[in-house]
Every structure is written in C-alpha cells, then in structure tokens.
Amino acid sequence: MAGDFQLIPREGSWLGTGFYLFYRAPGRAAEWARSVADRRRKNNPGIGPAVIECEVDLADTINLLDSTDRHWEALKRLATATIRTPRQVGPWSMVSDPSNPQLYRNYDDNDLVNAYVELLRRQRPVSSIMAAFMEGAPVFDMSWLYDHSHLCISILTKNAIRSRKLVEL
C-alpha cells in the first residue's frame, strides 16, 4: 500500500482522534468509502473510493462493548465534570432531522473520549477503542434496529495494526 495512514484530529468524531475502521463489515466500509469519495471529489476530481482491510491487535483496546473495565462509569463521571452546555445534537436527530449538517459533528463525544484516553494512558497503554454505533434509519417506527449500525474500531497507535491491504473499489 502506498503511503501511510495518519492519526489526524477530526473535530466532532465519535471516538475522538483516530483512524476509524468498520469491524468485519466490508460492505458497510465500501458504502462509506464511496460516500466519502463522492463528497471529496467535488474539490479533488482524482479521489476514488477504497477500503483498507486490516488485522488489528486488540490487546490494549478500550472496549466499550463490555462493562468489565468500567469505562462507561468513568466516561459518565468525566462527562458530568466537564460538559456544561452540549455542543452536539443527540441521536434523536437521526430520525427527526436526518438532513441536519450537525448530525455527525459529535464535538462533546470527541473531546470526552480524547480526555479519557489521556487519563487512562497514565495507567496503561491504549492503542484503540471499540464501540457500537446505532446509525441510519430504524427498520420500523419503534425499532431499535438501525440499517447502518456497526462496530467501529478507532486506531490510536500505528502499532495496533498488524497487517493491512488496500482494496480498491
């Protein structure tokens, strides 16, 4: 693969600064890549979609899928201590106003996760974060099943990626 990925801070990302991967969802990753390429092609006509298939070492992962490590409790305490006036819209906007340009600008989540990672790194290594995301539209009015839900891994250190290959679409 030509080049190397960069850990570039992106304002408003759910899991803070990181290199985001869909977990075992190549179709969803391809759909996202096409969507991003379409948006970026307006300013750079040479942009094309691609997916990076990776093997990730999850040994030093903040796993937000499980309560064993008490990450949720720590995040709630940190949020209570730091977030006074929310700067982001909530999940209800996915259904009530899906065209809202601020829908995926999760400023408070971004800052909260970045701060938590820094605090946790004082105690142990942290190379990635894994979380589930309810995204898209419900399959029926009162459903909790959303058609673009996925598990996401945010890579925080390059050494968490054991192997990778570029899959052009």
Tell me the two tokens of residue 12: 């408003």
Which band of pLDDT confidence, cut at 50, 70 and 90, is reported for residue 53?
very high
- Residue ranges per domain, the chain? 19-168
pTM of the model as a whole? 0.83
The answer to whether the beta carbons of residues 33 and 49 sit under 8 Å apart is: yes
Q: What is the pLDDT of residue 46?
A: 87
Q: What is the pLDDT of residue 120?
A: 96
Mean pLDDT (the chain) is 86
In this structure, what DSSP letter does residue 149 have?
-
Q: What is the pLDDT of residue 116?
A: 96
Q: What is the pLDDT of residue 89?
A: 62
* Residues 24-45 pLDDT 10s: 999 999 999 998 899 888 888 8
Cross-strand partners of 96: none
Report how far residue 112's alpha carbon sits from residue 13's, in angstroms, rounded to the nearest whole number: 11
Q: What is the pLDDT of residue 115?
A: 94
Which band of pLDDT confidence, cut at 50, 70 and 90, is reported for residue 100?
low
Report how far residue 134's alpha carbon sits from residue 73's, in angstroms, rounded to the nearest whole number: 20
The answer to whether the beta carbons of residues 135 and 25 sit under 8 Å apart is: no
